[in-house]
Every structure is written in C-alpha cells, then in structure tokens.
A and B are shown apart, each in its own frame.
Chain A
Amino acid sequence: GAVVSQHPSWVICKSGTSVKIECRSLDFQATTMFWYRQFPKQSLMLMATSNEGSKATYEQGVEKDKFLINHASLTLSTLTVTSAHPEDSSFYICSARGPSPGSPQFFGPGTRLTVL
C-alpha cells in the first residue's frame, strides 16, 4: 500500500503556543488530504478536507482560524494548531488519497499532541 508519513509523532507544548504537524505522501500524489482528530476511546472525527492548491473545507464545529491547514503541494499538507490549549490535546491523524475516483485513503501514523 501507499505510504503516508507524519511528523512529529508526538509533541508536548505549553498552553498558548502553536504547533505545526506535517503530513507527506511518500510514493503517490495526494490530490486530497484529510485531517482527523481522535480522543481516547472515541471514533475518528474528520476535521477538514483539503485539495492541493485550494483552501481546506472544514467540518462543522472546527475553527478554521485555530486549525490552519495548508496543502501546498501534491505530497505535503500541514496542520497548525494555533494558541493551543489543554483541550486540544488529542491524537491527530492525516490521510491522503490519489486522484482516481473511488481510490482508497491511506493514513499516516498520527501525532499525539499534549498541551500543558
């Protein structure tokens, strides 16, 4: 299967700081990338969908000014959590899919964010 990498795998930061998470598709061109968040023992929650070169589409209830998403190339998307607070502590997972209709999405390994 295709490989999606994510960096960093874990991060601890102080409240009020910003954190950037990178997501890369290593062996395919990802026309669409997705960002999910998952709290312990809960389901994956889709935060936003982004297409290369376009603004991200955010799900209802997700603050776009707080969670900045940039999908600047066909292999890279970034999620910046601005002014992070303890309630933003979660497991953030990106995924990517290729251009063909019905193509599967592949997930990165996730980034565990802890805000102190």
Chain B
Amino acid sequence: QKEVEQNSGPLSVPEGAIASLNCTYSDRGSQSFFWYRQYSGKSPELIMFIYSNGDKEDGRFTAQLNKASQYVSLLIRDSQPSDSATYLCRTGNQFYFGTGTSLTVIP
C-alpha cells in the first residue's frame, strides 16, 4: 500500500504564476509532512516540513495541511524557471517515495 499519492504530472505553469502540488496520504495518524525537491540528476533536498499543528510559509513556499481530506499541499508563489524539478512528499515515519510531481515553469 502506497503511503502517499501524488499526481506525477508533468505540471506546467508560466513564470510568475502559483504552482500548486498536492500529496494525498493514507495514514490518518500522520503527524509530520515533508516536501523535497529533486533536480534532474541530483539527490533530493528538503524544502519544507510541517507538523499536524499548522501550516507553514517560508519565502515563496507555503505548505498547507488538510487533515479532513488527508492531503498536504505545497504552493510555490511567483514560480521561477529554477523551480522546475520533481517534488516529492512523504509523511510521518514512512521513508518510501513515489514518483513525485514533475513541475516545469515556462519562462
């Protein structure tokens, strides 16, 4: 059973737009949620994490949790071509990753 589900995309947005990525999780008891960005040929890097007690904003990035519907979103405001990457999520103490969502920001 997959712990998280993401739309593999590709998701394309124009430069300057808001990119919205969703991650649906299966474990209702999950308390922590993590977003990673992986550029082609590179390893993943942690960009945001939140706990079940609230959303979080960091610069152009916002992570939002919807417990009722069991998904966590990552919003990227003022998208830049450098944001083009694959975005991975995981939850809690599960360390498996899906294929992630491929984002392309078009100049």
Give every chain B residue within 8 A of A108 (Cβ-Cβ).
43
Known: A107-B44, A110-B43. A44 touches B92 (CB 8 A): no
| Chain B residues bordering chain A, tally (CB within 8 A) | 20
Cβ of A61 within 8 Å of any chain B Cβ, yes or no, is no
B46, B98, B100 interface centre (most CB from chain A within 10 Å): B46
A43 engages B92 (CB within 8 Å): no
How far, in whole Å, are A101 and B31 apart by their CA atoms in the complex?
10
Nearest-CB distance from B88 to chain A (Å)? 7
Instruction: Name A's interface SS.
Output: loop
Instruction: Name B's interface SS.
Output: loop
Cβ of A115 within 8 Å of any chain B Cβ, yes or no, is no
Cβ of B61 within 8 Å of any chain A Cβ, yes or no, is no
Known: A102-B31, A102-B32, A102-B92. A44 touches B97 (CB 8 A): yes
A44 engages B44 (CB within 8 Å): yes
How far, in whole Å, are A102 and B33 apart by their CA atoms in the complex?
9
Give every chain B residue within 8 A of A44 (Cβ-Cβ).
44, 88, 97
Nearest-CB distance from A75 to chain B (Å)? 18
B34 engages A104 (CB within 8 Å): yes
B42 engages A46 (CB within 8 Å): no
A102 engages B51 (CB within 8 Å): yes
> Quick one: CB contact mask for B13-38 with A, threshold 8 Å, 1 for yes?
00000000000000000011010100
Give every chain B residue within 8 A of A1 (Cβ-Cβ).
45-46
